[in-house]
Structure 1
Amino acid sequence: MADTMIQGLPTWLAQAHNAAHITVVLRTLQKREHARLVACTVARHQAHPSKRHRLSHLPSTLATKAEHVTYYSATVGSDPDNQPDNRYSDIFPYDRTRVVVCPGEPSHDCSSSCTSGRYLNANWVRELAGGKWWIATQAPLPHTAHTFLSVIMEGVSPPPGTCFSNLRSLNRVRTVVQLTRNLESGMRKAHVYFPPLDGQSWVIEPPSGSADPPFQVTLVRSQSIEEADCVKSVVSLRPLSKDRTPEGEPIVFQHLLYTAWPDHGVPAREAREGLLRFTRLVDEANRDLSLHLGISDLDPNPPIMVNCSAGVGRTGAFIAISSLLRHYRFLAPGDQTGEPIPPLPPSPLGPLPEELQDDLVAQEIDSLREQRPGMVQRDDQVGLVYEVLVAAFVSASGANGVPVGDA
């Protein structure tokens, strides 16, 4: 079906879905991400200097604006003490949006946040078009699995500029999305942190030297959902006392593994409908309160934690797709209050060029890259965002023949 025949297809999307426009988008996004990378690199070498690095990066240092260096710094993640906790040696979270794992109860004071907790290679990321908050993170390593699970159990620093009421109970993460298989092409892409059999339990130990308790992790149940290329699991989490007995009520979360997205690639065209189903399934699972009966005042749509292997390429593309589907009401709104979505901070790099001002895909990806380095990492992943959004309009048009909307 030609783009012009798709009922409800936004004008900007019909015009953008061509090779010449995509080339402009890719070149513009690449140029801006390179500027961020240079500023981030300068900040890193200023914070962790060596004579060799100072000399090799002197030209970049002189040419980069100081405000860019501050804004795009990733000095915590690149600290030598935290390097072992990074799955990849060149991917670090920006300091200003990074997630800090906070032992104990997070503060109720919206002006304060935990900054001295445990390090995790993760960033708070908010959809530009859809308005929903996510935690974008790398897949766990064996020694970071406890910290990864602590996001759910112990609470984390709130997103910048927000007033979440309590990230340890009301707004607790209830859904984890994994976009990589644990093993791909014979290589380990993600560490397994819950058992494979229903009813089986594992103990996840805290990092060496930590006073935090071990966790008992139990697979409650698991099912394959073939039409969404997904394995959906319900997992419970409890701390263990000094005598290794479970304490308190279990914390339950849902884990959704998407199996059709290869590393260094995109889902095959015949899998695109399954990807749309998976995106809807994630949204529905996150709103499901049936596993949390008896707990009052829960956030009906709390933040979702999402990872691939590095937490940038597939992770960024999935958030971008979800945001635009939400914007066009293929997914329920991220904010149930009906209030306008507040703007994100403007980029120090300035706005996108005028010819891209109406392109919501380019705007979305650029915004995600402002919040975590390398989001939507590959050119074919950028193209995928356009293609899946078009596929959503095609599916809606074919299903009922009614225009979905324009913008």
Structure 2
Amino acid sequence: MAESIIPGLPKWLENAHNAAHITIVLRTLQKRERTRIMARAASKHQSHPSKRHRISHLASTMAIKAEYIKHYSIATGSDPAYEHENRYIDIVPYDRTRVVVCPGEPSHDCPSSCTSGRYLNANWVRELAGGKWWIATQAPLPHTAHTFLSVILEGISPPPGTSLSNLRQLNRVRTVVQLTQNLESGARKAHIYFPPVAGQSWVIEPERGRGDPPIQVTLVRTQSIEDAHCVQSVVSLQLLSQNRTPTGDPVLFQHLLYASWPDHGVPAREDRDGLLCFIRLVDEANRDLSLFTGMSDLDPNPPIMVNCSAGVGRTGAFIAICSLLRHYRFLSPATKPGEEISPLPPSPLGPLPPEIEDDLVAQEVESLREQRPGMVQRDDQVVLIYETLISAFASASGVDEVASE
């Protein structure tokens, strides 16, 4: 990691230069996630058992506390009816925080346990330090693109424990962040769901067997932003009637595709300034109301939907970085002046051990993993969070970092 005297660097963050401390953080986080993995597996096999699975997983299930199995349940996403809607078989959303695409106006009558809504491999995730709500989701598959876009266009279940319910109008998602290329190393990582040429329209059909109206998707405009290593697009959505004509007013959102984060890795050091620039651009774009003239009372900072391919590794690291940057005011606050960030529910695994309990990166990663399985998958992604935060302090202080041996 970079090592230098940086004015204003928090005391806890100085430990990022200490290899022994980082090792403790990584090992502790790994151990706690292994417990969650076992609890998720137990919930899956309890909910959808076969005789073969019951026998093979009996010992591991008995070793996991019942409260863990309930808390980390992935029963809905593990249902055979939804298996084809998961991009990866080992990434399934927690039941208690999952996003449900609900028919009609969303309300607290449509919680994450709602059975009448549509399934999406996505979770509500809130920054621990920064306080902002996100929808962390896998990249769309060809047969899930309609549901993915319906998050923006239709009603969805509100974040757990909040009063945020007007998600069709005032609190509607206006920004989608994509952290994966559509193709990486010859493999399809994300399905393309809007046309590449400005003014062109595509029609996205609902999943087979559903009677939902098709969605017309139009690319309004697009631009490359070199400093932020991204492509920023404005996309229009409109429902189609039975005779395939647009109905209602079009709904706009901004799509920001970051181009410098490789799969199974982290952005190169020479791209870190671009990553910080991209993060600031995302925050500014989400607060931009210029596309929505004539609409009053819009949420000035609505939830952002973010995906990589699985929606856990790069997605988790990105949210963690944004949270800590927001906490230290490198990004605009998520709350109104004087408004406090409410605490998130405590983990049934208990607090972090005393030697790392003051480490905000460890706290943030742990909190994200409580809300969506496997967030910040890799050790180098955890290290990236430390390094990016240090870079932000160094940049603000005009200090050049010196890479340690």
Q: Shorter-normalised TM-score: what interval?
A: over 0.9
Give the letter aligned to residue 223 of structure 2.
Q
Deviation at 1:107, TM superposition (A): 2.4
Deviation at 1:338, TM superposition (A): 2.8
Give the letter aligned to residue 148 of structure 2.
F
Query: 1:177 touches 1:306 (CA, 8 Å); kept in 2?
Result: yes
Q: How high is the TM-score relative to the length of structure 1?
A: 0.96
Query: 1:110 touches 1:162 (CA, 8 Å); kept in 2?
Result: no
Give the letter aligned to residue 193 of structure 2.
Y
Query: 2:75 touches 2:95 (CA, 8 Å); kept in 1?
Result: yes
| Alpha-carbon displacement from aligned partner over 1:292-324 (angstroms, at most 9, x marks no partner) | 111111000000000000000000000000000
> What aligned pairs does 1:84-163 form with structure 2 within 5 A after superposition?
84-107=84-107, 114-163=114-163
Give the letter aligned to residue 101 of structure 2.
V
Deviation at 1:248, TM superposition (A): 1.1
Q: How high is the TM-score relative to the length of structure 2?
A: 0.96
SS in 2 for 1:37: helix
| Alpha-carbon displacement from aligned partner over 1:351-404 (angstroms, at most 9, x marks no partner) | 00001111000000000000000000001100000000000001100089xxxx
Query: 2:111 touches 2:160 (CA, 8 Å); kept in 1?
Result: no
Deviation at 1:215, TM superposition (A): 0.4
| Counterpart-to-counterpart distance in 1, 2:81 and 2:337 | 42
Partner of 2:41: 41
| Counterpart-to-counterpart distance in 2, 1:135 and 1:338 | 25
Give the letter aligned to residue 55 of structure 2.
L
> What aligned pairs does 1:242-391 form with structure 2 within 5 A after superposition?
242-391=242-391
Deviation at 1:18, TM superposition (A): 2.3
Give the letter aligned to residue 15 of structure 2.
Q
Q: Which moved more, 1:129-138 or 1:55-64?
A: 55-64
Deviation at 1:50, TM superposition (A): 1.2
| Counterpart-to-counterpart distance in 2, 1:74 and 1:197 | 39
Identity percentage of aligned residues: 76
SS in 2 for 1:32: helix
Deviation at 1:10, TM superposition (A): 0.4
Deviation at 1:141, TM superposition (A): 0.2
| Alpha-carbon displacement from aligned partner over 1:61-107 (angstroms, at most 9, x marks no partner) | 11111000000000000110000000001110000000000121112
Relative to structure 1, the CA distance from residue 94 to residue 391 in structure 2 (aligned partners, 3 Å threshold; closer, same or farther) is same
| Counterpart-to-counterpart distance in 1, 2:337 and 2:258 | 30
Partner of 1:405: none
Query: 2:132 touches 2:334 (CA, 8 Å); kept in 1?
Result: yes
Give the letter aligned to residue 33 of structure 1.
E
| Counterpart-to-counterpart distance in 2, 1:167 and 1:355 | 41
Query: 1:317 touches 1:385 (CA, 8 Å); kept in 2?
Result: yes
Query: 1:110 touches 1:164 (CA, 8 Å); kept in 2?
Result: no
Partner of 1:176: 176
Deviation at 1:109, TM superposition (A): 6.4
| Counterpart-to-counterpart distance in 1, 2:192 and 2:126 | 27
Query: 1:131 touches 1:334 (CA, 8 Å); kept in 2?
Result: yes
Give the letter aligned to residue 242 of structure 2.
K
Give the RMSD, CA atoms, in angstroms: 1.6
Query: 2:106 touches 2:165 (CA, 8 Å); kept in 1?
Result: no
Partner of 2:15: 15
Q: Which runs of 5+ in 1 are unaligned?
A: 401-407
Give the letter aligned to residue 302 of structure 1.
P
Give the letter aligned to residue 77 of structure 1.
G
